[in-house]
């Protein structure tokens, strides 16, 4: 039986000016070392002007990748373009400074998806924080309706599922992947857990740097996906976005998207996340108050 193609989609923009050439080289070389034979690395470049196009041409001429360079409107627009161009049955999305360090992982993931007829996989991932430390992002799919439940870089998606669900919603500039994962769970697509930490990614700072936009996008995502389940207003949506505080009738409906044996765990994890968010908000408010007192 023929082994299906896998496509890795990577957006780029001015790699050279942004000092990302070395990180990109590591990503490409480690993909080339994968034991799985049918991997397409597809670069969607945002009309770079610093020599990146010529840089990518060298890789293409050596057979490492293919690329398209034209203006896009953001990361998720690039992802959607990548899906449209991809020839893979399965697709994963890696940034130019992410890398897959386990060289057998794609082979194992494809076999797992084929054996289980899975629509998507999720796995733990190592995250490199800008402050220099590395931590493990362990998936928590029971929190998928509250926060991003796993690293998008540690997921593979069936291309046909992405197409059927009309791609990433590009009006969400920061959290379109969160919205997409929520949608495929609500549609009951079949996941499978890959119990290996195979990818390392760089922590994205946009959500932290723009708290207001992140909160507004979260509220819009909750409203989009849950408004037919429970009457929502701005006060409820704000509590959901800031504190992961959900109305009990809505939680009861969301619990039905998990196996019956998991319902107690679902409620427990949701309450844990609520307490984590409350504690974090309290710490942030105390820090602001202390700063204000020092400035007086």
Residue 141 sits in a domain of what CATH number?
Answer: 3.90.550.10
Q: Are residues 159 and 38 in the same domain?
A: yes
pLDDT for residue 147 is more than 80 = yes
Q: Give per-residue pLDDT as tens, 282-293.
A: 776 766 666 665
Q: Are residues 157 and 108 in the same domain?
A: yes
Q: Are residues 28 and 148 in the same domain?
A: yes
**pTM for this predicted structure:** 0.93
Domain endpoint, select from 209, 242, 264: 209
State the total domains in the chain.
2
Residue 216 lies inside a defined structural domain of this protein: no
What is the pLDDT averaged over residues 27-49?
97
To the nearest whole percent, how much of the chain has pLDDT over 90?
A: 88
Specify the higher pLDDT residue, 58 or 284.
Answer: 58
- Confidence class for position 132, pLDDT limits 50, 70, 90: confident
- Confidence class for position 209, pLDDT limits 50, 70, 90: low
Q: Give per-residue pLDDT as tens, 9-34.
A: 999 999 999 999 999 999 999 999 99
Predicted local confidence at residue 143, as pLDDT? 96
Q: Are residues 284 and 161 in the same domain?
A: no
Residue 174 lies inside a defined structural domain of this protein: yes
Predicted local confidence at residue 204, as pLDDT? 73
Domain endpoint, select from 178, 209, 240: 209
- Confidence class for position 48, pLDDT limits 50, 70, 90: very high
Taking a C-beta distance cutoff of 8 angstroms, is the pair 125, 203 a contact?
no
What is the bridge-based pairing of β-strands 120-122 and 191-193?
Answer: parallel
Q: Are residues 131 and 188 in the same domain?
A: yes
What is the pLDDT averaged over residues 49-73?
96
Residue 222 lies inside a defined structural domain of this protein: no
Q: Give per-residue pLDDT as tens, 229-284.
A: 999 999 999 999 999 999 999 999 999 999 999 999 999 999 999 999 999 877 76
Q: Are residues 204 and 265 in the same domain?
A: no
Task: Provide the mean pLDDT of the chain.
Answer: 94
Predicted local confidence at residue 210, as pLDDT? 76
Residue 86 lies inside a defined structural domain of this protein: yes
What is the pLDDT averaged over residues 79-96?
97
Q: Are residues 205 and 247 in the same domain?
A: no
Name which of 224, 159, 112 is nearest 8 in CA terms: 159
Residue 163 lies inside a defined structural domain of this protein: yes
pLDDT for residue 205 is more than 70 = no
Taking a C-beta distance cutoff of 8 angstroms, is the pair 52, 14 a contact?
yes
Cα separation, 22 vs 130, whole angstroms: 17
Q: Are residues 189 and 240 in the same domain?
A: no
Q: Are residues 290 and 171 in the same domain?
A: no
Residue 82 lies inside a defined structural domain of this protein: yes
Q: Are residues 159 and 267 in the same domain?
A: no
Taking a C-beta distance cutoff of 8 angstroms, is the pair 91, 167 a contact?
no
Q: Are residues 72 and 200 in the same domain?
A: yes
Residue 219 lies inside a defined structural domain of this protein: no
Domain endpoint, select from 157, 176, 209: 209
Provide the domain limits for residue 55: 6-209
CB burial of residue 72 (10 Å; 0-12, 13-18, 19+): buried
Residue 90 lies inside a defined structural domain of this protein: yes
What is the pLDDT averaged over residues 108-129?
97
pLDDT for residue 1 is more than 60 = no
Angle at which helix 211-226 crosses helix 176-186, to 10 degrees, equals 20
Predicted local confidence at residue 239, as pLDDT? 96
Instruction: Flag the least confident range among 109-123, 144-158, 198-212.
Output: 198-212
Q: Are residues 172 and 35 in the same domain?
A: yes
pLDDT for residue 104 is more than 70 = yes
What is the pLDDT averaged over residues 45-62?
96
């Amino acid at each position: 039986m023929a082994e299906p193609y896998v496509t890795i989609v990577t957006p780029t923009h001015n790699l050279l000016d942004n000092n990302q050439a070395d990180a990109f080289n590591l990503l490409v070389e480690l993909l080339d070392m994968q034991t799985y034979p049918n991997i397409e690395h597809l670069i969607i470049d945002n009309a770079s002007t610093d020599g990146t196009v010529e840089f990518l041409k060298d890789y293409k001429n050596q057979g490492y990748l293919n690329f398209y360079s034209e203006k896009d409107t953001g990361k998720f627009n690039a992802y959607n373009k990548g899906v449209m161009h991809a020839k893979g049955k399965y697709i994963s999305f890696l940034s130019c400074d992410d890398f897959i360090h386990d060289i057998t992982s794609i082979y194992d993931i494809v076999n797992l998806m084929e054996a289980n007829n899975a629509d998507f996989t999720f796995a733990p991932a190592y995250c490199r924080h800008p402050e220099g430390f590395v931590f493990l992002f362990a998936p928590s799919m029971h929190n998928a309706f509250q926060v991003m439940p796993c690293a998008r870089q540690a997921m593979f998606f069936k291309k046909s599922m992405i197409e059927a669900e009309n791609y990433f919603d590009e009006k969400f500039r920061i959290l379109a992947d969160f919205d997409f994962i929520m949608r495929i769970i609500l549609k009951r697509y079949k996941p499978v857990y890959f119990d290996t930490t195979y990818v390392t990614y760089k922590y994205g700072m946009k959500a932290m740097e723009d708290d207001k936009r992140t909160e507004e996008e979260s509220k819009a995502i909750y409203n989009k996906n849950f408004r037919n389940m429970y009457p929502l207003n701005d006060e409820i949506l704000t509590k959901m976005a800031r504190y992961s505080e959900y109305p009990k009738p809505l939680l009861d409906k969301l619990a039905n998207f998990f196996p019956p044996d998991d319902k107690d765990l679902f409620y427990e994890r949701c309450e844990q996340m609520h307490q984590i968010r409350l504690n974090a908000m309290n710490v942030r408010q105390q820090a602001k108050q202390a700063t204000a007192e020092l400035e007086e």
